[in-house]
C-alpha cells in the first residue's frame, strides 16, 4: 500500500513540474476544433488573453467564440485582417493590445499578416492536417485519400506567410484504412489527436523544448482545392484508384461520372471484396465494363476486374437518391393530399419559410439547398417537423433525397401514411453446410430494421475455434454506425409505434419472437457451436433453450409492470392522491460477452424490451453470428424498425461510443471487471447514465466431508468444466475438507479421463474448444504460473495436440491462498483445489470470502444447519447448496463487490430498465 501511495505522489510531482511553465496566448481560428484546443489549454493553466475568430453567421457565433465569451475571455470577430494584401492598422493594433506571448492557430481560414504572425515573443504555431511537406494547402486530407497514401497525419509548424512551409514543431501519423473517408480520418485521428498535440506543442514552447525542424523541399507538394469541373472520375483505372478519387472528393466537391448519358455525382464509396453481387447493368462512360445496380448500391468495376460500391447518387438538379433505387427513382406517382394533409403541408411550408427567410415565397419548385440552406438547417427542419407532426419517422437523409418543396411534401405524406415502411428485408447471407443443414447467417450491421455494411466498409473474420477456419467476414461497425443506431433507437422510442404500443401488444410481439427462436433453435444452436465452440447439445439446451425461456418469461411481464398508491398527509381542506408510475428509460445499450452469446443477449434485452425501451446491442467481437441471426428473427416477429439495433465490432470502439453517447440512458454490461470500471467511469462522465454490471468472479465452492460424495464429484466437475469452463459463475476455487480431499481428487481425475474432447457438433462430445486462440494461450500461461508457484498439477495443463483451440481439463491441488491461481479467475476448464482442516467452518469461510469478487458460491453438506450457516455468511450474489449452475429465468442473478451490481433475470431485472415517477394530485 505504501509503495502504491509513493508511486502516485511521484507521478503527481512529475506532472506538476512538467506543467509549471505557463504562457499568455492568443488563439486565432474557429470551429469546434478551435474550441476544444482553447478549452484544453485553459485547463492546463495557460492564460488565453484574446480569441480572434470569424464574425457571427446568420446570428450564430462560432463555437470558439461561444466558449470564450462564456469564460469572459476577450473575443474579437474581424471579417478580415488585410485589404489588398496590406494589414488593417486598427485590427493589428487591437491584436497587439492583448499582449500575447504566443499565437496558437488551431484552425484558421483567414490570411493573417506577418507582422501579427511574428509579433509575439514565441511567434505563432499552426495546425495542418497532413504530414508536411506533402499535401500543402487547404485540401490536404482530400489529397491524402485521392493519392492513396497509406499514412495520414498532421503537422504543427511554426507559421510562415501562409504557404505551409514553416519549420516543423511536431508531427503525428496514423494508418489510412481502405475505406476511410475525410470524415472518418478526421473524427478518428486528426481531430482528437490534433487537440492533444496542440496542447503538447504549447507546453513544449513554454518549457523551452520545442524544436524547429526545417521542411525539406524533397517530397513537397501543393494541390489546390478541387473544382467540380475537375472532379470527374477516370473510370479507366484500377478499382482502388477510382475508389480513392471518389472518397477523396466526398462530400465536397463530389466526384462525378456520366451514367446513361447524364452527369451523376457519386457518394459513399467502399471497396468490395469477393465476387460482385447480381444486379441490373447500367452504362458508365469510360468504364471497362457496365456498372451494376444492386440491392446495396451501384457497383463499379476497375480495369483490374476488381469492384467498388457507391451508396448514394446525386443528379444535376440536386436530387439525391440511394444508388440501389436508380431505376425506380422516377416511377412514384404523385399522391393526392387529404384536407388534413394539406393543412400539415401548409404548416411545413411555414417551417421552410422560417428557415429560408431570404426567399420571398416557398413555391412548389423551391429547392431547399439552392435557396441557401446548410447542414444545420437540415437538422432544424427535421426537428421542427417532428415537433409539429409526432409519429413521423424522418431522417436528415430524407431532406437530401427530396430537395424541392413538392418532392418533400410527397415524401412526407407517404411517410405519414406508412407507405414507405413496408420494405422487404434484404439480407446478404453467408452460407455454410454443417450439422446436416445449410446455415444462412447475416453478417452486416443491423440498424433501423435493415442489414447494412459498416459505414466505412470495414470487415473482420469470425473464426471457428474447432479448426481455426474462417466462417465468414463480418461488418466492423464504426462510431458513425453507433450514432446511426442510437438515432434510430431514439426515434423508435420517441415517435415510433413501440413507444405508443399497448403493453399487452408488446408482450405479444415478444412471444412471437420466442416462438420463432424455438422454430430456429437447431439452426441457432449450430451457429453457436461453430462460432463460440459450445457443445451442440449444451447449446441446444442452455445457450438457446434458456434464451427462449427468458423471452417468454419477460413477455409475460409486459402488462404487469405496476406502480403503487401511497398514503400521505392530507393538505386539508383539500385531499391528495399520490401514486408512482414505472416508466421505460429510453434508449439502452447492451454489451455482451463471448461465452454465452445468445443467452447473454436474451438475459439483458428481454427485460429491456419488456420494460418498453429500445436498444443498441454490441455482441462480442469474436461471436457475433447468433446475435445477427436473432436480428433477422426480430423482423419476422414484427418488432418495429429501430427498436433493436445490433452492431458487431470492437469493444474499444463501439462499446466506448455507447458508454459516451449522450442519448443513451442505460448501459448493461457483462464482461471483465477492468472493462466494467472503465464503462462505469465513461457513463458517469458522459451523461450519468444508469449502469448495471455483471463482472468477473472467483466463486468459492466448499465441500464438507459429510457431503453426498457422488453428487459432490459430479456437481463439482460441472461447476468448473461446464461450457468448457467459460462460465461466469464457474467455481474458481474448491475448498475440500481434509479427510475426504484425496478421495475427492482421485474420483474427479478418474471422471475427467472419461470425458470426450472433440468436435462440438458431435453429439457424444463432452468438451469442446475454447472460444478463441488468445484465450487458449492465456489458459496455458495460467497453468504455467500455477506450476511455477508450487501448486501440484495433477492432470492436464496443456493444449490438446489437435487442430483448433482445445485445452485439456486441468486439476491443481495444494493451492495456497497467496498464489496467483488462488486469486485470479481462469475462465477456463481449470479446477483449483485447496484443502481445509476438518471441522474448521469459520476458517474456510474466511478464506472463501477473502476475494474482491462475489458473483457466486456453493456448499456441499448433508447438515442443513451447516448449509444455512455457510450460505448466510458467503459474500456472493448467488449461493448454491448441494447443487451448482442452477439458474432459472425467474431467479435474480448478479454479483457483490467487484463482481458488479444490478440484476439479470427475475422481476428485479425489470427494475434495471425502469424509472419511478411519483405523481401527487390535489382534489
Place of cell 410481439: 509
Cβ–Cβ under 8 Å, residues 36 and 193: no
Which of the pair, 480 or 228, is modelled with greater confidence? Answer: 480
In the chain, what are the domain boundaries?
24-207, 228-325, 339-417, 429-561+582-694, 700-894
Answer whether 24-207 and 700-894 agree in fold: no
CATH topology of domain 429-561+582-694: Aldehyde Dehydrogenase; Chain A, domain 1 (3.40.605)
Position 15 pLDDT exceeds 50: no
Stretch 639-657: mean pLDDT = 95
Position 166 pLDDT exceeds 70: yes
* Residue 591, marked binder: no
Contacts of residue 361, Cβ cutoff 8 Å, sequence gap at least 6: 353
Tell me what the pLDDT averaged over the chain comes to: 90
* Residue 530, marked binder: no
* Residue 63, marked binder: no
Place of cell 523541399: 217
DSSP state of 248: H
In the structure, what pLDDT confidence band is assigned to residue 17 with cuts at 50, 70 and 90?
Answer: very low
Of the chain, the end-to-end C-alpha distance in Å amounts to 61
Distance CA 645, CA 637 (A): 15
What class, spelled out in words, does domain 700-894 have in CATH?
alpha beta
Beta pairing, strands 307-315 & 298-301: antiparallel
DSSP state of 186: I
Cβ–Cβ under 8 Å, residues 730 and 859: no
Contacts of residue 526, Cβ cutoff 8 Å, sequence gap at least 6: 434, 435, 437, 439, 536, 539, 761
* Residue 799, marked binder: no
Catalytic residues: 128, 694, 728
In the structure, what pLDDT confidence band is assigned to residue 331 with cuts at 50, 70 and 90?
Answer: very low
Place of cell 476497375: 302
Contacts of residue 328, Cβ cutoff 8 Å, sequence gap at least 6: none
Query: Could you tell me the CA-to-CA distances from 709 to 101, 703, 706, 884 in Å, in that order?
Result: 80, 9, 8, 14
CATH topology of domain 228-325: 3.10.25
Sheet-wide strand order for 856-860: 792-795, 810-813, 830-836, 731-737, 699-703, 856-860, 878-881
* Residue 619, marked binder: yes
Which of the pair, 299 or 393, is modelled with greater confidence? Answer: 299
Which of the pair, 743 or 230, is modelled with greater confidence? Answer: 743
* Residue 406, marked binder: no
* Residue 826, marked binder: yes
Distance CA 904, CA 893 (A): 5
CATH topology of domain 24-207: Rossmann fold (3.40.50)
Give me the pLDDT at residue 7, please: 27
pLDDT in tens, 658-705: 999 999 999 999 999 999 999 999 999 999 999 999 999 999 999 999
Give me the pLDDT at residue 12, please: 28
CATH 1.10.238.10 fits 339-417, yes or no: no
* Residue 592, marked binder: yes
Stretch 402-428: mean pLDDT = 76
Give me the pLDDT at residue 6, please: 29
* Residue 208, marked binder: no
Give me the pLDDT at residue 903, please: 96
In the structure, what pLDDT confidence band is assigned to residue 397 with cuts at 50, 70 and 90?
Answer: low
* Residue 45, marked binder: no
Beta pairing, strands 792-795 & 810-813: antiparallel
* Residue 871, marked binder: no
* Residue 229, marked binder: no
pLDDT in tens, 803-859: 999 999 999 999 999 999 999 999 999 999 999 999 999 999 999 999 999 999 999
* Residue 113, marked binder: no
* Residue 620, marked binder: yes
Give me the pLDDT at residue 251, please: 73
Contacts of residue 371, Cβ cutoff 8 Å, sequence gap at least 6: 356, 358, 359
Stretch 174-203: mean pLDDT = 89
* Residue 343, marked binder: no
Amino acid at each position: 500500500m505504501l509503495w502504491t501511495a509513493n508511486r502516485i505522489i511521484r507521478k503527481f510531482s512529475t506532472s506538476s513540474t512538467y506543467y509549471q511553465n505557463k504562457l499568455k496566448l492568443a488563439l486565432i481560428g474557429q470551429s469546434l476544433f478551435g474550441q476544444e484546443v482553447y478549452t484544453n489549454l485553459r485547463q492546463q493553466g495557460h492564460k488565453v488573453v484574446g480569441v480572434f475568430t470569424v464574425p457571427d453567421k446568420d446570428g450564430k457565433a462560432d463555437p470558439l467564440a461561444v466558449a470564450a465569451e462564456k469564460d469572459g475571455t476577450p473575443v474579437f470577430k474581424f471579417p478580415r485582417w488585410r485589404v489588398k494584401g496590406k494589414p488593417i492598422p486598427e485590427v493589428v493594433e487591437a491584436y497587439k493590445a492583448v499582449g500575447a506571448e504566443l499565437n496558437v492557430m488551431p484552425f484558421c481560414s483567414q490570411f493573417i499578416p506577418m507582422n501579427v504572425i511574428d509579433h509575439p515573443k514565441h511567434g505563432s504555431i499552426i495546425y495542418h492536417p497532413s504530414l508536411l511537406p506533402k499535401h500543402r494547402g487547404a485540401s490536404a486530407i482530400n489529397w491524402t485519400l485521392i493519392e492513396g497514401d497509406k499514412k495520414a497525419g498532421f503537422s504543427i509548424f511554426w507559421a510562415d506567410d501562409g504557404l505551409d512551409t514553416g519549420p516543423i514543431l511536431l508531427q503525428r501519423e496514423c494508418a489510412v484504412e481502405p475505406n476511410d473517408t475525410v470524415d472518418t480520418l478526421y473524427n478518428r485521428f486528426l481531430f482528437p489527436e490534433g487537440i492533444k498535440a496542440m496542447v503538447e506543442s504549447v507546453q513544449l514552447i513554454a518549457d523551452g523544448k520545442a524544436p524547429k525542424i526545417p521542411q525539406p523541399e524533397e517530397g513537397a507538394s501543393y494541390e489546390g482545392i478541387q473544382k467540380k469541373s475537375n472532379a470527374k472520375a477516370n473510370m479507366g483505372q484500377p478499382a482502388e484508384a477510382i475508389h480513392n478519387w471518389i472518397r477523396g472528393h466526398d462530400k465536397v466537391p463530389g466526384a462525378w461520372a456520366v451514367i446513361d448519358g447524364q452527369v451523376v455525382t457519386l457518394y459513399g464509396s467502399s471497396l468490395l471484396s469477393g465476387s460482385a453481387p447480381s444486379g441490373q447493368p447500367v452504362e458508365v462512360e469510360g468504364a471497362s465494363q457496365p456498372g451494376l445496380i444492386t440491392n446495396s448500391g451501384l457497383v463499379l468495376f476497375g480495369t483490374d476486374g476488381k469492384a467498388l460500391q457507391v451508396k448514394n447518387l446525386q443528379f444535376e438538379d440536386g436530387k439525391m437518391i440511394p444508388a440501389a433505387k436508380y431505376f425506380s427513382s422516377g416511377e412514384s406517382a404523385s399522391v393526392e393530399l387529404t384536407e388534413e394533409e394539406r393543412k400539415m403541408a401548409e404548416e411545413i411550408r411555414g417551417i421552410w419559410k422560417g428557415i429560408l427567410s431570404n426567399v420571398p415565397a416557398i413555391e412548389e419548385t423551391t429547392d431547399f439547398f439552392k435557396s441557401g440552406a446548410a447542414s444545420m438547417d437540415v437538422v432544424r427542419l427535421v426537428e421542427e417537423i417532428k415537433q409539429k407532426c409526432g409519429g413521423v419517422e424522418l431522417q436528415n437523409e430524407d431532406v437530401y433525397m427530396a430537395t424541392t418543396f413538392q418532392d418533400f411534401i410527397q415524401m412526407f405524406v407517404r411517410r405519414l401514411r406508412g407507405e414507405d415502411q413496408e420494405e422487404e428485408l434484404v439480407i446478404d447471407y453467408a452460407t455454410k453446410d454443417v450439422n446436416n443443414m445449410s446455415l444462412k447467417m447475416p453478417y452486416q450491421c443491423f440498424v433501423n430494421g435493415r442489414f447494412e455494411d459498416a459505414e466505412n466498409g470495414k470487415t473482420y473474420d469470425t473464426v471457428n475455434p474447432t479448426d481455426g477456419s474462417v466462417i465468414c467476414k463480418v461488418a466492423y461497425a464504426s462510431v458513425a454506425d453507433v450514432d446511426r443506431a442510437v438515432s434510430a433507437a431514439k426515434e423508435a422510442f420517441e415517435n415510433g409505434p413501440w413507444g405508443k404500443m399497448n403493453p399487452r401488444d408488446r408482450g405479444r410481439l415478444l412471444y412471437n419472437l420466442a416462438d420463432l427462436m424455438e422454430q430456429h433453435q437447431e439452426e441457432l444452436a449450430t451457429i453457436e457451436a461453430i462460432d463460440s465452440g459450445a457443445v451442440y447439445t449444451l447449446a441446444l439446451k442452455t445457450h438457446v433453450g434458456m434464451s427462449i425461456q427468458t423471452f417468454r418469461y419477460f413477455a409475460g411481464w409486459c402488462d404487469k409492470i405496476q406502480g403503487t398508491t401511497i398514503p400521505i398527509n392530507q393538505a386539508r381542506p383539500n385531499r391528495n392522491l399520490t401514486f408512482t408510475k414505472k416508466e421505460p428509460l429510453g434508449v439502452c445499450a447492451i454489451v455482451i460477452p463471448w461465452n454465452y452469446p445468445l443467452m447473454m443477449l436474451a438475459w439483458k434485452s428481454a427485460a429491456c424490451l419488456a420494460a418498453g425501451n429500445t436498444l443498441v446491442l454490441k455482441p462480442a467481437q469474436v461471436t457475433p453470428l447468433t446475435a445477427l441471426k436473432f436480428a433477422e428473427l426480430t423482423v419476422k416477429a414484427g418488432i418495429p424498425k429501430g427498436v433493436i439495433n445490433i452492431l458487431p465490432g470492437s469493444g474499444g470502439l463501439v462499446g466506448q461510443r455507447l458508454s459516451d453517447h449522450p442519448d443513451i440512458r442505460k448501459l448493461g454490461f457483462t464482461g471483465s471487471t477492468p472493462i466494467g470500471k472503465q464503462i462505469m467511469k465513461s457513463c458517469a462522465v458522459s451523461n450519468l447514465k444508469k449502469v448495471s454490471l455483471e463482472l468477473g468472479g472467483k466463486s468459492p465452492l466448499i465441500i464438507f466431508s459429510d457431503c453426498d460424495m457422488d453428487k459432490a464429484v459430479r456437481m463439482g466437475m460441472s461447476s468448473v468444466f461446464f461450457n468448457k469452463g467459460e462460465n461466469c459463475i464457474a467455481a474458481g476455487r474448491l475448498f475440500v475438507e481434509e479427510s475426504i480431499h484425496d478421495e475427492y481428487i482421485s474420483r474427479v481425475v478418474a471422471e475427467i479421463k472419461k470425458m470426450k474432447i472433440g468436435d462440438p457438433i458431435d453429439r457424444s462430445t463432452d468438451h469442446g474448444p475454447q472460444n478463441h486462440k488468445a484465450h487458449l494461450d492465456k489458459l496455458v500461461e495460467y497453468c504455467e504460473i500455477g506450476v511455477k508457484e508450487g501448486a501440484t498439477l495433477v492432470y492436464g495443463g496443456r493444449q490438446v495436440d489437435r487442430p483448433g483451440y482445445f485445452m485439456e481439463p486441468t486439476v491443481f491441488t495444494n493451492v495456497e491462498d497467496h498464489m496467483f491461481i488462488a486469486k485470479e479467475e481462469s475462465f477456463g476448464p481449470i479446477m483449483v483445489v485447496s484443502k481445509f482442516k476438518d471441522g474448521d467452518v469459520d476458517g474456510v469461510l474466511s478464506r472463501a470470502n477473502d476475494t474482491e469478487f462475489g458473483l457466486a458460491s456453493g456448499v456441499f453438506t448433508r447438515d442443513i444447519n451447516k448449509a444455512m450457516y455457510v450460505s448466510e455468511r458467503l459474500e456472493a450474489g448467488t449461493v448454491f447448496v448441494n447443487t451448482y449452475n442452477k439458474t432459472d429465468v425467474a431467479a435474480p442473478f448478479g454479483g457483490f463487490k467487484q463482481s458488479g451490481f444490478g440484476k439479470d433475470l427475475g422481476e428485479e431485472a425489470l427494475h434495471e430498465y425502469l424509472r419511478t415517477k411519483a405523481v401527487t394530485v390535489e382534489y
